[in-house]
Amino acid sequence: MTPNEPLLRWEWILDHADEIWQRLLEHVTLTVLAVGIGFALSFVAVVLIRRYHYLREPLTWLTGVLYTIPSLALFAVLVPVTGLTRVTAEIGLVSYTLLILIRSILDGLLSVPAEVRETAIGMGCTSGQLLWRVEIPLAVPVVIGGLRVATVTTIGLVTVTALIGQGGFGYFILLGMQRFFSTALIVGATLSILLAILADGLLVLAQHWTTPWTWERRRQA
Amino acid sequence: MDVGETETGVSTVLATLAWLADPIHWHGTDGIVTRLVEHLALSGTSLLIAGLLALPAGMYLGHTGHGAQLVINVLNVGRALPSLAILGFALPFSFWLGLGLGFWPTVMMLVPLGVPLILINSYVAIRSVDREVLDVAWGTGMRGWEVFREVELPLAVPIILGGVRNAAVTIVATATMGALVASGGLGRYIVDGLARQETGRLVTGALLVALLSIATEAAFDVLERVGVPPAVRAAHHLDTLRVPGVGAGG
């Protein structure tokens, strides 16, 4: 962006291969932790909502408000309390996954046809068996749909945590902005988008392999 | 204070109140009033451009019924683009166009965030108009443009407005990041607060941005109440029509 500076310096990329690899690991770690913890919390929330229906409204409201807060603002408010740490990054990242994941798990369980549920009860399933052996497997496609959105969103938000000293590929974007260095900008931006597309593709494959009963139907259709 | 170290919640609240109580922080080029106006100018310009691009395109696709796959692809690609990454591309592009730092690279980041949200809702809105209603319109002798203007558009308004609302909230939230490329707006307090290790400035910026996002949402609640005819509103369940995955200034 300064005169005579090429848009992309290939030798810079080759020189920094090690660092790019380290940032990839950081990006993946931050994402997997956030989506994993977010999923566990959402699952617990859904189990609670199924037992105590009155929790649904306040939990939806709370996760909705969390989701509306701009990421930069949320990370910024946490900094005075938890510092420039991975914990700060994860608190923010996890809270953004909750709205999407709770909703998709609830929708997934609701998508199980009533006849299927009644048949299972008629065959003598306990409520635990109904949940674990009938409803959860049938909810997989919708739940993975939610996981895809949550993962892609999180990979994008991880870049923002560069501002609090984390960030994965976001580090390169921030570096590029501070030094007007377009190579770092383009490397950081491109790799974070590629990572999102790759993760999305992997989850589509996971959805395919975890729902073998849909294969036959698709072939017939 | 040192941002790198943790401190108690009480001292954070005190630092924020002290910062807010100082009249210097309300007026002038770095005052809250100026930053708020800048934030609204960035968001308004971006929403306007996104609307001009996405509303006609979405409604046209919905009316003709072609291109469902295209629309879905646009939405998915739009979701896969992190805002900071778009900003990363926008900055060299803006320099290349001679538009420099600040306002324009930020707008270039915000427009692509808004377009898919408005486009998908406009498309779905027109598509979701009851086929039987359209048959009746054709039966009474209405033709293409008339059907669109008299029947499809009024019935589609609530969902279209929902898309504009999603885009507005996302744009207002994400305009914060413009501060990274030296634009104005409330994000300045967050970026400068982090850089100068000033808790009061940092937390004030965060609170103001969060409040503005929530206020934007509330403003669209009012707009939906006023702008949508009661009969059309009754036919829709507005709450179920909002596309999930919006907000968060990703």
Q: What are B14-73's pLDDT values in tens digits?
A: 888 888 878 888 877 788 899 999 999 999 999 999 999 999 988 888 888 777 777 777
CATH number at B31-241? 1.10.3720.10
Q: Could you write out the DSSP letters of every residue in chain B? A: --TTS---HHHHHHHHHHHHH-GGGTSSTTSHHHHHHHHHHHHHHHHHHHHHHHHHHHHHHHHH---HHHHHHHHHHHHHS-HHHHHHHHHHHHHHTT--SSHHHHHHHHHHHHHHHHHHHHHHHHHTS-HHHHHHHHHTT--HHHIIIIIIHHHHHHHHHHHHHHHHHHHHHHGGGGGGGT--STHHHHHHHHHHT-HHHHHHHHHHHHHHHHHHHHHHHHHHHHHS-HHHHHHS-GGGGSPSS--TT-
Give per-residue pLDDT as tens, B172-223.
Answer: 999 999 998 888 899 999 989 888 888 888 888 988 998 998 899 889 888 8
Q: How many CA atoms lie within 13 A of B87 on its CB side?
A: 33
Q: In Å, how far is B142's CA from the nearest CA of chain A?
A: 37
Q: Is residue A146 part of a domain?
A: yes
Q: Do the beta carbons of residue A152 and residue B81 sit within 8 Å?
A: no
Provide the percentage of residues in chain B whose pLDDT is more than 90.
21
Whether this prediction's pTM lies above 0.90 is answered by no
Q: How many domains does the structure of chain A reveal?
A: 1
**Nearest CA-CA partner of B30 in B189, B180, B179, B206:** B189
**Nearest CA-CA partner of B183 in B78, B46, B9:** B46
pLDDT, chain B, mean: 82
The ipTM is: 0.75
Is the per-residue pLDDT at B120 higher than 80?
yes
Block residue for tokens 């300045």? B188
Lowest mean pLDDT among A31-45, A181-195, B198-212, B226-240: B226-240
Query: What CATH number does residue A181 fall under?
Result: 1.10.3720.10
Q: In Å, how far is B198's CA from the nearest CA of chain A?
A: 10
Alpha carbon A51 to its chain's center: 26
Q: Is residue A20 part of a domain?
A: yes
pLDDT of residue B248: 40
Q: Which domain holds residue A79?
A: 10-210
**Nearest CA-CA partner of A74 in B175, B207, B212:** B207
Residue of A70, A100, A193 lying closest to B81 (CB–CB):
A193
Amino acid code (one letter) for A109: L
pLDDT of residue B203: 87
- Which whole number is the average pLDDT over A149-167? 90
**Nearest CA-CA partner of A154 in A1, A44, A37:** A37
- Which whole number is the average pLDDT over A79-83? 83
* The two three-digit tokens of residue B128, written as one number: 């979701």
Amino acid code (one letter) for A190: T
Q: Is residue A221 part of a domain?
A: no
Tell me the C-alpha distance between A81 and A161, whole Å.
16
pLDDT tier at B244, thresholds 50, 70, 90: very low
pLDDT tier at B240, thresholds 50, 70, 90: very low
Contact B4 A77 (CB under 8 A): no
Q: Is residue A216 part of a domain?
A: no
Lowest mean pLDDT among A28-42, A193-207, B6-20: B6-20
Lowest mean pLDDT among A13-22, A33-42, B60-69, B186-195: B60-69
Q: Is residue A3 part of a domain?
A: no
pLDDT of residue B249: 40
Chain B residues whose CB is inside 8 A of the A74 CB are 206, 210
Q: Is residue A55 part of a domain?
A: yes
- Which whole number is the average pLDDT over A166-181? 89
Q: Is residue A203 part of a domain?
A: yes
Lowest mean pLDDT among A42-51, A165-174, B58-67: B58-67
- Which whole number is the average pLDDT over A142-162? 91
Q: Is residue A215 part of a domain?
A: no
Block residue for tokens 């609240």? B13
pLDDT tier at B233, thresholds 50, 70, 90: low
Interchain CB contacts (distance < 8 Å): A and B: 166
**Residue ranges of A 98-117 with Cβ closer than 8 A to chain B:** 99-100, 103
Contact A153 B245 (CB under 8 A): yes
- In which region does residue B141 sit, left (phi positive, over 0), alpha (psi from -120 to 50) or beta (all else)? left
pLDDT of residue A219: 62
**Nearest CA-CA partner of A168 in A10, A32, A9, A11:** A32
